[in-house]
Amino acid sequence: MPKLIFFWVIMLTLFSPAKVNLFLRITGSRSDGYHNLASLFQTISLGDLLYLALSDKDELTCNDLSIPTDASNLILKAVDLFRRKTGFCCNVKVYLDKKIPLQAGLGGGSSNAATVLWGLNALTGAQFSTKKLQEWSAEIGSDLPFFFSEGTAFCTGRGEIVQNLPKINYPPMTVVKPKMGLSTPAVFSRFRTIGLIKRKMRDDEEIQNALLGKLSFYNDLEPAAFQELPDLVYIKEKLLKTGFQEVILTGSGSALVCFGEPHTHPFLEDFFIEKVEPLNRSANCWYTCVRK
């Protein structure tokens, strides 16, 4: 009994934000099966809550029963990775309060895993630098390293080369996701059959433009995602008709990010629709957000 009390006393509650891609350019395919990309990533106010405590066995529970809570979940992969890298030998109990839609291109699973790495480091005396955690995190997913930036970053390679950027002013953002999700490997595999979109863009020029507020909004994975889920073509048209200035797929979808203010509320039955704000963290603190 005293052991249990000890475990819960040191429980951490952490916000785990979603991300959106303002632009996403695929610059080539690689021999390891991945693709090189160049993308502006931004963390947003939509997010999950993670409750983390040391325990006598690894245990993951979640409010969303459709989420696998076995070793395939990136959260438990992150716990294992932390143990392997640091020699930490405790077990961990995690409760995930899920709000970020799944199979959406919003980076929910990657964010959860990055949050767990941060949390375990904090729970065990913060012995490892953010840079170290970021470097390790690439072993479990291409999107994880981004979450160790301060929330705004230009990412290249397969996503793991992260260049931190200062905060950017964005137009109002609304995330819209239909019930159907998309699988990232399926969208990338469809992309291979379509081929690269030729774009004459230079990284440094695109970063400078973004910092000056001259944002590009595009996603080279859109044609592949729209072939995988043709309803997205009609949904995007409908959203543009309600008055949003730009509507683009985030990541490999199926969520769309709408920029600007619509004239009328986009009525789409059974859809996830939420206004979001960009969210940045300060150095040495994890992301915080009062959830609505």
- Any idea which residue has 């409010």 for tokens? 63
According to CB under 6 A, which one of 47, 107, 159, 251 is a site residue for ligand C5P?
Answer: 159
Residue 137 to residue 5: CA distance in whole angstroms: 31
Q: Which two tokens stand for residue 98?
A: 């899920």
Residue 11 to residue 18: CA distance in whole angstroms: 22
Spell out the residues 6+ positions from residue 214 whose beta carbon is closer than 8 angstroms to its own: none
Residue 61 to residue 76: CA distance in whole angstroms: 11
Task: Give which of 118, 144, 42, 56 is closest to 93, Cα–Cα.
Answer: 56
Q: Judged by CB under 6 A, which stretch of 61-69, 137-145, 173-181, 206-214 contacts ligand C5P?
A: 137-145
Closest CB 249 distance from ligand C5P, rounded Å:
15
Q: Judged by CB under 6 A, which stretch of 30-38, 60-68, 94-102, 258-266 contacts ligand C5P?
A: 30-38
Closest CB 185 distance from ligand C5P, rounded Å:
4
- 152's enclosing H/E stretch is strand 152-156
H helical segments located in the chain: 2-9, 74-86, 108-123, 130-137, 184-194, 203-211, 222-228, 231-241
Catalytically active residues, by annotation: 19, 143
Q: Which of residues 51-110 bind ligand C5P (CB under 6 A)?
A: none
Residue 142 touches ligand C5P, criterion: CB under 6 A: yes
Closest CB 141 distance from ligand C5P, rounded Å:
4
Residue 34 touches ligand C5P, criterion: CB under 6 A: yes
Q: Which of residues 169-198 bind ligand C5P (CB under 6 A)?
A: 184-185, 188
Residue 239 touches ligand C5P, criterion: CB under 6 A: no
Closest CB 159 distance from ligand C5P, rounded Å:
5
Closer residue to ligand C5P, CB minimum distance, 54 or 81: 81
Question: Residues touching ligand C5P: how many (CB under 6 A)?
Answer: 12
**How many other CB atoms sit within 10 Å of the CB of residue 40?**
22
Q: Judged by CB under 6 A, which stretch of 135-143, 147-155, 261-269, 282-290 contacts ligand C5P?
A: 135-143
Spell out the residues 6+ positions from residue 129 whose beta carbon is closer than 8 angstroms to its own: none
Closer residue to ligand C5P, CB minimum distance, 142 or 242: 142
Biggest CA pair distance of the chain: 64
Query: Would you say 49 and 16 are in contact if contact means Cβ atoms under 8 Å apart?
Result: yes
Enumerate binding residues for ligand C5P (CB under 6 A): 33-35, 37, 141-143, 158-159, 184-185, 188
